[in-house]
């Protein structure tokens, strides 16, 4: 590991979830390529002050080009002393490119990876038709990470073996990595049984915890957790939350992510006379939702930060004492 001699030992999120009664965490988005990068330091600083238990960093989400996931995840740990979770999407890469990128994470001492497929690029709904040497689903990425944790590396035809001598499933034995694997869960996916099937598959492939798609009411989370319990799925599942402070943003989330936003929140935001009033309405709504989720037994709260880390920090701070 490159930084073996000058940093604290890296913490796995599975360990944090096992030891803390309530985990508080947040997701940040790298700045758009070519924009000011210092903003990210201010966001991390605001979240560290809560203090949060870990910060996750998205990869390529939202359409625009945003590099930096790995170095930002690394600096969260090295410079700020906070555990980080690097999102890793498999949608654009061959399995060989994925193995190399996972090794970059390993060298940098990144312990926690959120294994995702990623959204299709805008206007390309057929993007995920299966292609050779590529994953179609996140569970396949989870399996590839678990393989590395078992010291099983890809075999290179023509290099490790004669061309076509080895079946694709054969693995080369190597040094085991030690990644903690997280995945996405989708409580509002219909039918519910299938949503839980998909999560169960990820758990079978080594997922140790999950974070849900953003939710704006406690009911889908409660139903999803009940179904998981009925099926014997025991991993911690953190509810994902986003603070809606403007009517237009709330409507965009419905359109873009297919999530349900209560009409009462949309109407209240529509009546807001100022940005500050919208912020207060969104914050109060999220605070009440967090209370319900914790009462349902949620192991923690994970807030998606868009631009406003201060508001996310304010929400999380209200739950730090408990
Ligand atoms: P999958 O589990 O592979 O699901 C993809 C699709 O396949 C879904 O429609 C699902 O219903 C279906 N499916 C899943 N498993 C199976 C199966 N076994 N058999 C048949 N069908 C199946 N996107 C980014 O680009 N970058 C990010 O950083 C990012 N971060 C995210 C963080 C969180 C917490 C969440 C919830 C989502 C995030 N996303 C991100 C978006 C996410 O990648 C998309 O919502 C994507 O469409 C689904 O991702 P997944 O990882 O759940 O993929």
The answer to whether residues 60 and 66 touch, using CB atoms and an 8 Å cutoff, is yes
- 63 pLDDT higher than 80: no
CA of 1 to the centre of ligand 1 (A): 30
CA of 119 to the centre of ligand 1 (A): 7
pLDDT for position 160? 83
What is the rounded average pLDDT of the residues 241-258? 91
Fill in the DSSP letter of residue 93.
-
Q: State how far the Cα of 282 lies from the Cα of 102, in Å rounded to an integer.
A: 37
- 247 pLDDT higher than 80: yes
- 318 pLDDT higher than 60: yes
**288 domain residue, yes or no:** yes
Which residues form ligand 1's pocket by a CB distance below 6 Å?
A: 58-61, 87, 89, 116-119, 137-139, 184, 189, 198, 201, 211, 213, 240
CA of 91 to the centre of ligand 1 (A): 10
pLDDT for position 129? 72
pTM above 0.85, yes or no: yes
**4 domain residue, yes or no:** no
| Number of CB atoms found within 10 A of residue 98's CB | 23
Q: What residue owns the CA closest to ligand 1's atom 19?
A: 198
pLDDT, mean over the chain? 92
275 sits in which H/E element: helix 275-295
**6 domain residue, yes or no:** no
The model's pLDDT over 17-38, given as tens digits with 9 standing for 90+, comes to 999 999 999 999 999 999 999 9
- 6 pLDDT higher than 80: no
The model's pLDDT over 118-163, given as tens digits with 9 standing for 90+, comes to 987 777 767 777 788 999 999 999 999 999 999 999 998 778 877 7
Closest C-alpha among 91, 89, 90 to residue 128: 91
Q: Give how far the C-alpha of residue 203 lies from the chain's centroid of Cα atoms, to the nearest Å.
A: 15
The answer to whether residues 145 and 115 touch, using CB atoms and an 8 Å cutoff, is yes
Q: What are phi and psi of 152, to 5 degrees?
A: -110, 110
**168 domain residue, yes or no:** yes
pLDDT for position 61? 77
The model's pLDDT over 277-302, given as tens digits with 9 standing for 90+, comes to 999 999 999 999 999 999 999 999 99
pLDDT for position 211? 98
Query: With pLDDT > 70 as the criterion, what percentage of the chain qualifies?
Result: 94
- 85 pLDDT higher than 50: yes
pLDDT for position 64? 79
Q: State how far the Cα of 217 lies from the Cα of 221, in Å rounded to an integer.
A: 8
**33 domain residue, yes or no:** yes
**46 domain residue, yes or no:** yes
**172 domain residue, yes or no:** yes
Sign (positive/negative) of CA torsion 181, 187, 191, 196? positive
Q: What residue owns the CA closest to ligand 1's atom 2?
A: 138
The answer to whether residues 302 and 312 touch, using CB atoms and an 8 Å cutoff, is no
Q: State how far the Cα of 117 lies from the Cα of 136, in Å rounded to an integer.
A: 7
- 4 pLDDT higher than 70: no
Q: State how far the Cα of 264 lies from the Cα of 242, in Å rounded to an integer.
A: 16
- 110 pLDDT higher than 50: yes
Q: What residue owns the CA closest to ligand 1's atom 18?
A: 198
**131 domain residue, yes or no:** yes
The model's pLDDT over 188-246, given as tens digits with 9 standing for 90+, comes to 999 999 999 999 999 999 999 999 999 999 999 999 999 999 999 999 999 999 999 99
User: Which ligand 1 atom is at minimum distance from the Cα of 302?
Assistant: 34
- 7 pLDDT higher than 60: no
Q: Which domain holds residue 189?
A: 13-317
What is the domain-level CATH number for residue 219?
3.20.20.220
CA of 94 to the centre of ligand 1 (A): 17
CA of 111 to the centre of ligand 1 (A): 21
> How many domains, the chain?
1
Mutation pick for ligand 1 pocket among 26, 67, 85, 118 (CB with most ligand atoms within 8 Å)? 118
What is the rounded average pLDDT of the residues 290-319? 97
3-state secondary structure 17-54: HHHCCCEEEEEECCCCCCCCCHHHHHHHHHHHCCCCCE
- 5 pLDDT higher than 60: no
| Number of CB atoms found within 10 A of residue 7's CB | 15
């Amino acid at each position: 590991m490159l930084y073996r001699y000058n940093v604290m030992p890296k913490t796995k999120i599975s360990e944090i979830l096992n030891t803390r009664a309530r985990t508080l965490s947040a997701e940040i988005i790298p700045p758009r390529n070519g924009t000011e990068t210092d903003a990210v330091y201010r966001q991390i600083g605001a979240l560290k002050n809560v203090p949060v238990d870990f910060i996750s960093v998205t990869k390529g989400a939202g359409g625009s080009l945003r590099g930096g996931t790995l170095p930002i995840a690394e600096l969260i740990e090295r410079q700020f002393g906070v555990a980080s979770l690097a999102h890793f999407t498999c949608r654009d890469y061959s399995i060989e490119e994925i193995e190399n990128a996972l090794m970059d994470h390993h060298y940098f001492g990144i312990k926690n990876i959120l294994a995702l497929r990623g959204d299709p690029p805008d206007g390309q709904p057929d993007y995920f038709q299966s292609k050779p040497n590529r994953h179609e689903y996140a569970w396949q990425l989870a399996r590839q990470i678990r393989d590395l944790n078992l010291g099983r590396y890809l075999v290179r035809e023509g290099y490790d073996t004669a061309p076509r001598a080895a079946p694709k499933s054969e693995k080369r034995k190597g040094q085991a990595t030690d990644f903690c694997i997280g995945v996405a869960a989708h409580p509002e996916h219909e039918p519910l049984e299938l949503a839980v099937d998909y999560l169960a598959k990820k758990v079978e492939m080594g997922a140790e915890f999950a974070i849900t798609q953003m939710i704006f009411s406690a009911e889908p989370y409660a139903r999803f957790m009940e179904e998981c319990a009925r099926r014997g799925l025991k991993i911690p599942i953190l509810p994902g939350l986003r603070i809606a402070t403007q009517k237009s943003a709330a409507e965009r989330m419905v359109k873009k992510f297919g999530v349900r936003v209560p009409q009462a929140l949309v109407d209240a935001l529509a009546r807001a006379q100022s940005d500050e009033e919208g912020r207060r309405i969104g914050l109060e709504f999220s605070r009440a939702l967090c209370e319900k989720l914790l009462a349902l037994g949620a192991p923690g709260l994970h807030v998606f930060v868009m631009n406003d880390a201060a508001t996310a920090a304010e929400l999380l701070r209200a739950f730090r004492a408990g």
